[in-house]
A and B are shown apart, each in its own frame.
Chain A
Amino acid sequence: MRIPNETDRLRRVVMIKVIDAFFKGELESRADHMPFELRPRGKGCSRCCVFKDRAVVKYRVMAALGIGAEDETDEATPLRHYAAAALGRQTPEPKFLSVLDIACDSCVKTRYLVTEACRGCLARPCSLNCPRSAVHIEHGRATIDYAACVSCGKCQQVCPFSAIIRTPIPCEEACPVGAISRGVDGKQIVDFDKCVHCGKCMRACPFGAVVERSQIIDILKAVRDGKKLVAMLAPAVAGQFPGGMERLTGAFAQLGFAGTVDVAAGAVTTTEHEARELVERLGEGERLMTSSCCPAYVETVAKHIPELLPFVSDTLSPMRYAAQAVKAADPDALTVFVGPCLAKRKEAADSPDVDFVMTFEELGALLVAKGMDLDGITPGATGPEAPAYAKGFANAGGVAAAVKLELERLAASDPAAAALKLDARQVAGLTAKSVKLLKLYAKGKLPGNFLEVMACEEGCVGGPCGIGEVKLSPPKRAD
């Protein structure tokens, strides 16, 4: 569930501006004005001053253009040069995440902090209960000796005034694999040898210092140049936008796309292959198979839990099967996966069938830039509705449920499937703790013969690049 915040707003407003300028053919001429338009004088500022705000906005515009702050060689390069580079490049940039070092507030590492609420009480349980004797009372207040402190949190738990707080570094806390950490100059940097592109740091940073590098310009250029683009909508689209598939299909048609497909159709194929592969593997004596459709999970295994690799299924994700189907029907078509996911960008870069990835946020910005209200869009013709279990891939538990159903269906004709006793487990949400859990699965220390792993706690619907929930029953309509 997204809590409304200014970072999301600003990111979307920047994206809308960039898209709008692109459509008006003014991207190069207006790019340098954008920081000034977004942060005019006299309207307050988010940081120390409006000039710092503008400096950061410049890098956000670059990110919307697909260019990272790390790629900058000359700070004096004006935005119009980056706009020209974006307009001129042939393929999207192969990097997906960027840290805006000047936006990073270098959140303090200190884990536990004594606040002014401390009253220097007689009981001093903080000092008495500290296992490392790191808490002392000085000048009538508790103080923590950070050389001795091991961040166990006991002092915070026992303080009767709740005067001791835990100060997190949000991005580091969110990262399940320790890929983001303090650089030499105090700013956070991402180690791309460790990063699995789950996007949690991006969501977590309260200063919006971690940004994704957009492919929106590459996609819009392809449309403008008359290429045949087919939008593939992830099952997680349900509930992201008002109006259903028909409206979105109509919207993509209006935007100049050649077609729209429901990735849930690809999920049907994934289910079939996954179930069959499970029967095969267990039949050959293996004890466990895991899902493979979450690219952040697969990358986590590749980079951090190689002992789990043999257990990951070879079945492709719904996105891949959907893309293959599109290309088979029309080899000239260019596929655009539309979803809430950052890691899909990486999966797409590694696959021949997926050409671009657009996030739901970018889609939203695109609709706003074009002044398109989904309510007023002529609905488009969609194919047959995908079965509920295929749409369920977007929710944690959905893959396991689909495999269970498919095994039941196969049992009628396949004795091996009928004999299989499915013991499905889930890991919903990649965290440092759940990564440890996965290592135990690899060692065979935990029960289960099918493991569904989702990087995002709610499943794909909780992905980092979504818009936030549409209430299933919005307030009564005025008309």
Chain B
Amino acid sequence: MDKIRVEICVGTTCHVLGGGSLHDLEDHLPSRLRDQVEVVGAPCLKACENGNYGDAPFVKINGEIMAAATIDKIIARLNRL
């Protein structure tokens, strides 16, 4: 089974609005998910365009953008996949 791909935006907007804390994601993954998830940093996902910075930080999970991402929300989403 292909690994779930989590891309954490490392663009400036996401960083200013709290994206820095998401880089610890791998440390927080429950053991059963660790082998099934691939976490990478991605350059600006452009989700913040058109003044949409209020929903930052963004992550992409298997191509789908999640707004106002937090580690808990990401893990909840991964559990559902």
Contacts and interface: CB of A to CB of B under 8 A. Distances in A.
Interface in A413-468: 467-468
B10 interface: yes
B23 interface: yes
Contact of A470 (B15, B25, B42, B70): B15
14 contacts: A4-B18, A13-B17, A13-B54, A16-B53, A241-B15, A367-B16, A373-B43, A471-B24, A476-B41, A478-B7, A478-B41, A478-B43, A479-B42, A479-B43
A58 B53 CA distance: 20
Contacts of A361: 16
Interface of B: 7-8, 10-13, 15-18, 20-21, 23-26, 39-44, 48-49, 51, 53-54, 70
A332 interface: no
Interface residues of A, number: 33
Contacts of A241: 12, 15
Given A468-B21, A470-B20, A374 B43 contact: no
Contacts of B10: 242, 375, 474, 477
A478 B9 CA distance: 10
Contact of B13 (A9, A368, A469, A471): A368
A364 interface: yes
B39 A375 contact: no
Main secondary structure of the interface of A (DSSP, over half): loop
Main secondary structure of the interface of B (DSSP, over half): mixed
Interface string A362-392: 0011011001111110000000000000000
Nearest to A479: B43
A248 B18 CA distance: 19
A437 to B, nearest CB: 33
Interface of A: 2-4, 8-9, 12-13, 16, 20, 241-242, 361, 364-365, 367-368, 371-376, 467-471, 474-479
A373 B53 CA distance: 12
Nearest to B20: A468
A315 B70 CA distance: 45
B12 A20 contact: no
Nearest to A375: B43
Given A4-B21, A242-B10, A364 B43 contact: no
Given A20-B51, A241-B15, A373-B44, A471 B7 contact: no
A474 B18 contact: no
B43 A471 contact: no
